Chain A
Amino acid sequence: MALLSKKDTSLILDPLADNNPITIQVLGICSALAITAELKASIVMALSVVFVLGIGNVVISLMRNIIPSKIRIIVQLVVVAALVIMVDQVLKAFAYELSKTLSVFVGLIITNCIIMGRFEAFALANGPWRSFLDGIGNAAGYGLILVIIGFFRELLGSGTLLGFKVLGDPIEKTGLYATGYENNGFMLLSPMALIVVGLIIWVQRSRNKALIEEN
């Protein structure tokens, strides 16, 4: 028997494209706008969410038969908050530098609607292994969009990628800047992130007409 059945594979691959959490389910928009001004921050956030959603989904799935439905949202919130805080504490004690980089993301992860969304929609109704795959898949789909947005915002807004001056030096006027090119400061602000998300949604839906919602 293969490690991943066809259904399992689709749990991981679907959220990357045709069932993407950001562009199709429209979840996790807030953090997609907030922290994508730099590619590096996007990557860090993407990895953190893969980790938290993967484990969180498993924990919720293991508890799914004993969680009282009346307070399930509270239980989900407690699980994700406790998980994130414990990881944060361990990092602070043993990997202080890393924890400094991640500390800004802690709050964003706890309140990320993708996490609650997947707990609610998937982990409460499925076994741990499937939930794990679903968590990884959705977080990766989310991360993919974050990286795409971060790439364009950093490239067009600051003229750098991961901090490297790929377009030349804007002050010394070298590289592309010698031709009169200027960075677009608007790219660094959140409204432009929303427009980039809109463009991605447009491209995706015009490639696959089945995704266009009927009104």
Chain B
Amino acid sequence: MAVNTDKNSYTVIFAAVMVVIVGSLLAFFASSLSEKIKENERLEKQQNILYAMGVNENEDEGSVNFVSTDRVAGEFQKYITEQLVIEGDQITKDDNAYLIDLKKQETVAKAGKTRKLPLFIGEKDGSKYYIIPMRGKGLWDAIWGFVALDNNLVVQGVYFDHKGETPGLGANIKQRYFMDDFTGESILDGTEYAGIAVAKGNNDPTNEIKDDNEVDALAGATITGNGLSAMIKESVNLYKSYLESIRAKN
């Protein structure tokens, strides 16, 4: 039986049926898998935070290996001693602070209200780590990360990730050789919260100069690098008053 596929009525019915089928198929997939996906994302966040403070399973000098997913919840309990939520001048403890959605908080801030800033305090081998989560813009989409600082606001480790940066170029911000460069840099330039800039041609490709607030850029990824610099600078300034209090205690 041949159907006249050129008729207008057929076209409309076909389109309607297709939308219903595809729509319900996608909705079914999304809702039946959403719990599992959320769980994966939760564990990933814990892995990322731990990675920034140096709790990971890196083997050689090139690999980025997180604590495995079946152990991460326990390790997170063990190493992250405090989770704080900073809301204006108010600082409260909250064991689910790591689940705070930074993107939503940005919208809150844009609406003129005070945003919630999560901060994680970790302890490893007797030293304290202050881990700041951050979020910014890369070339194509969002970039985010965690920066672990010590009492003197010197970076002890970082983890960066991205949603859709160009593979081989901007996507390399999550490569070990790039992230490791941040360790040892201070986010302070004198008393100013300068952050750490991703700089081109700073004549320091091996990153031996640790007091210049700069790390060597990735070739071909200028905009991702600039976005990363801006993200770090903005974020540390958001936490300025809390970070000042850490410095004062010292």
* Chain A interface residues (CB < 8 Å from chain B): 34-38, 41, 44-45, 65-71, 74-75, 78, 82, 85-86, 89-90, 92-94, 96, 103-105, 107, 153-154, 157, 163, 171, 185, 188-189
Task: A38 to B30: give the CA distance in the assembly, Å.
Answer: 32
Q: Is the Cβ of B169 less than 8 Å from the Cβ of A90?
A: no
Contact of B215 with A by CB under 8 A: no
Count contacts between A and B, CB distance < 8 Å: 89
* Chain B interface residues (CB < 8 Å from chain A): 3, 5-6, 10-11, 14-15, 18, 22, 25-26, 29-30, 33, 36-37, 40, 44, 62, 163-169, 171, 205-206, 219-220
- Among A45, A85, A188, the residue within 8 A (CB) of B169 is A188
Q: Is the Cβ of A93 less than 8 Å from the Cβ of B33?
A: yes
- Which residue of chain B has the shortest Cβ distance to A81 in the bound complex? B22
Q: A35-B168, A37-B169, A78-B18 are in contact. List 15 more A-B contacts (CB 8 A).
A: A35-B167, A37-B167, A41-B171, A66-B14, A67-B14, A69-B6, A71-B14, A75-B18, A82-B26, A86-B26, A92-B40, A94-B36, A104-B165, A163-B62, A171-B206
Residues of A within 8 A of B44 (CB): 96
Residues of A within 8 A of B40 (CB): 92-93, 96
CB distance from B69 to the nearest CB of A (A): 8
Q: Is the Cβ of A71 less than 8 Å from the Cβ of B220?
A: no
- Which residue of chain B has the shortest Cβ distance to A72 in the bound complex? B5
Given A103-B163, A185-B219, A188-B220, CB of A67 within 8 Å of CB of B5:
yes
A–B pairs, 21, beta carbons within 8 Å: A34-B166, A35-B168, A37-B169, A65-B3, A66-B14, A67-B14, A68-B6, A68-B14, A68-B15, A71-B14, A78-B22, A82-B26, A85-B26, A86-B25, A86-B26, A93-B40, A96-B40, A104-B165, A153-B168, A171-B206, A185-B219
Q: Is the Cβ of B14 less than 8 Å from the Cβ of A188?
A: no
Residues of B within 8 A of A66 (CB): 3, 5, 14
Q: Is the Cβ of A188 less than 8 Å from the Cβ of B168?
A: yes
Residues of B within 8 A of A38 (CB): 167-168
Given A86-B29, A94-B36, CB of A104 within 8 Å of CB of B18:
no
Residues of B within 8 A of A94 (CB): 36
Given A66-B3, A90-B29, CB of A71 within 8 Å of CB of B168:
no
- Among B18, B37, B62, the residue within 8 A (CB) of A89 is B37
